[in-house]
Amino acid sequence: MHRPGTVILVATCLTLTTASGLDLKKPLETARMLLPSLCYMNEKSEEDPLCSDCVAGVRELLNAVGKMEEWAILMLDAMVKPPPGILSGGFTFMSDFDSCLKIPRANITDGRLKRLDIDYLEPRYCSIKVSITQPPDDDSHHKDEELHTGIMALLDKEKENLKDVSQLLEEFPGFLGLCLPSTCTKESLRAVGRSLKYGMSHFLEKPPKVNVDMEVVDCVTKADTTHREFTFTVLAALIMVGVLAVLVVFGTILDTIFLLVSDRDVDDEGRRLHAYETKSDSTACNVLRSFSAYCNMRLLMQGHSPSPAMPRPVCGIVSLSFVWIVLGNTLTLRGFNVTMNMKELKHALENPVIQFAVNSSLAIDAVMTVLGIAMTYSIVRQLKAKFVSDTWSTLDILRSFLNATKWFSAGVLPSYILLLLIVNAIFPKLSSGPTWPIESKRLLSQCPDHWMWNIAFINNFFPTRQQCMPHTWMMAYLAQAILFAGLIIFLLMKYPKCGTLILGTCILGTCLSTFVINFINNIGPTALLREYRPGSRIAYHDLVASNLYTRGSPICVGIITGYFLGVTRKPSCRKIVYYVGWILSLTLLLATINVTYFWNKGPIPPGRTQYAAYDALHRLFFSLGLSFLTFACISGHGGVINVLLCWPGWQVITRLSYLIYILNPFLIVFTNGTTKAPVYYSIKVAVQEVLWNLVATILISIACHLLLEAPFLRLADFLSITKEEVDEEDSSMDIRVPLEEKKLSPSYG
């Protein structure tokens, strides 16, 4: 039975054709006759069999259109049409993905297809990546030629915008989505493309000189989108997730039963213990209860004051830093290949809010600064609490270091490794869409060959284009920074003068190495909105942005601040010091964040030396300003900023921070890949995207936290508590645990 919409469409076509006196069969028949000649457009003027297969399917489609068959009209309706606003900078032509794949199969009449034992045609959606660039010698082109007129003159003007696109975006945002007969496979479409390129270069008027590249990424039918191939890696990932999910379910059930049949004790202050504070006499019961979603959710949502190892303002800084990172990801990772107003967008990107998002790399420096503060403060306070005199041994310092970094070794580390396996195996098969073949491989294309460098935490030493999950360079940087901080803290505690000297040398060395590398390679001051020069954005990230020896000054400043706070019980200064300090720190923070705004406005470079000097010093100045802000808030002179940073809600984001960092880029590319139509980008759309990315990432991170991170944290806590009972030691201080619960609640992240 025909669908009403189809009947109306066919009737309309017939009415218009009859009323206007047009006969569609003649032009369609002419097109059918001319199409096979396309496959002879090559240097040898011989038929390309792959091209002919696709052309035969298109000829069958044209024949069916002439007969007004339903499947042909539906495919014609789903096919790509020139979208409005092409001259506004849109480079995307997209057939309707869902409508295309819903078209029913059709019997064929073409003789060639019958000889190939093809009994029917079905729709196939092909995703094509388009890149348009200007050649280096473009300035000398056309100078001896006549000026173009008409549409060629218009193209001559529009090609000037290609330079802006290449400076703003790492890849050209071109996409072509075609709804074609199933005989047009990825290989046959490539053959058609070669013939078209040859024909256009030899038989058409010479267009403005540009390089046009088209890469057929994938061609899928409806069966391809519903069928999922289960490889060994996929099965292993699913089994792992299934086992953990079963443990969480059984742990939650056991925990519920235990809490129903047992009486909760009270502490010395008469407070009834929380569910997660109540222990069983059975070791197996406690181990299984570590997977309880109920207890782990209660732990996650607690908003108590953090321990001295991580003062509450530090939690606020960490949380706001990761919100800043999400804001930056929303801008840099969004699908510009499904954006229709690129020409207008280049001006909108120059406002200060966008500049703030572009500079989100500084958020990582903020995280490293407070990491140094928290680690050093935790270790110093633990040692000071256990020993009256400064006579701690190497083993004592090592124990304090392991305790202060339990959040990483027992929480972040296992969850990161598990996510690396699970996401790499499952993410490409999660969905489908016009640009899904492109977006699903955007972060994972190098994983089959380079995943082991992520597990070894050395992936930041490799070029960005060779990294599995490129954004996880920060996880390697984090692990290296923790080891580096542990060594420096050991020297500070055992040999204070030597440790201080080495810290100063490291700060000077990182600044000097950054200056030298930047100056020699001429890669610009930082990651600018517009690329400083061709290839400088990737070069800057590979040479400077992802290495500890070039951006290690923030953690060094954090170590100094944390050590000072740790050895000083009640830090305080004169009011004039706070006034001057606040003025200087806010000036440093605002300057480092916003000075690039003027460089992004236009190509007015101050020079290689000035850029290198800014790059060498801006992270140091930023961390100095942030360190004083932290010191002022802890010492009671933070004012309204301290109130903001001490909001209890930041505790939750702090505990989810690294899961948010790992998962957020995947949420963005998932949204890109499943977008079915080009979007007109505006401030409203940008705000919606930021809110969606932030809220959805937090919700997904909560689920992953309960499944992959919290159980290991509680298991580590249970093992450490068991050891403490044997050794009669109190080593429960952790950098993310409330002080008042240190003898009762887990060391929790």
Q: Domain ranges in the chain?
A: 26-226, 302-741
94 beta partners: 177
User: For residue 707, what is the enclosing H or E element?
Assistant: none
Distinct helix (H) and strand (E) counts, the chain: 34, 6
The pTM (predicted TM-score) of the whole model is 0.87
Is the pLDDT score of 85 beyond 60?
no
pLDDT digits (tens, 9 = 90+) for 518-536: 999 988 887 776 777 777 8
pLDDT digits (tens, 9 = 90+) for 346-364: 666 667 777 788 888 999 9
pLDDT digits (tens, 9 = 90+) for 1-26: 445 554 444 545 544 454 455 566 67
pLDDT digits (tens, 9 = 90+) for 19-62: 455 566 677 777 777 777 878 887 777 778 888 888 888 888 88
Is the pLDDT score of 264 beyond 70?
no
Quote the percentage of the chain above a pLDDT of 70: 78
Is the pLDDT score of 73 beyond 80?
yes
- 508 phi, psi to nearest 5 deg: -65, -40
- Round the average pLDDT of the chain to a whole number and report it: 81
Integer angstrom CA distances of residue 590 from 211, 353, 507, 597: 42, 13, 22, 11
- 231 phi, psi to nearest 5 deg: -80, 175
At 118 the pLDDT is 74
State CA 72 to chain mean position distance: 40
Q: What's the DSSP call for residue 126?
A: E
Residue 270's pLDDT band, with cuts at 50, 70 and 90, is low
Is the pLDDT score of 126 beyond 80?
yes
Question: 591 is written with which tokens?
Answer: 């300057």
Residue 332's pLDDT band, with cuts at 50, 70 and 90, is confident
124 beta partners: 180
In terms of C-beta density within 10 A (0-12 exposed, 13-18 middle, 19 or more buried), how is residue 310 classed?
A: buried
What DSSP line would sit under 521-576, residue for residue?
HT--SS--SS-SSTTHHHHHIIIIIT-HHHH-HHHHHHHHHHHHHHH-SS----HH
Ranges 129-138, 141-150, 168-177, 668-677, most confident: 668-677
Contacts of 716 (CB under 8 A, 6+ apart): 406, 409, 410, 411, 747
pLDDT digits (tens, 9 = 90+) for 626-684: 999 999 998 888 889 999 998 988 999 999 999 999 999 999 999 999 988 888 888 88
Which of 133-142, 242-251, 401-410, 681-690 has the lowest average pLDDT? 133-142
Exposure string for 327-348, b = 16+ CB within 10 A, e = fewer: bbbbbbbbbbbbbbbbbebbee
d(CA 684, CA 691): 11
The 3-state DSSP composition of the chain as helix, strand, coil percent (nearest 5) reads 65, 5, 30
Is the pLDDT score of 137 beyond 60?
no
At 277 the pLDDT is 66
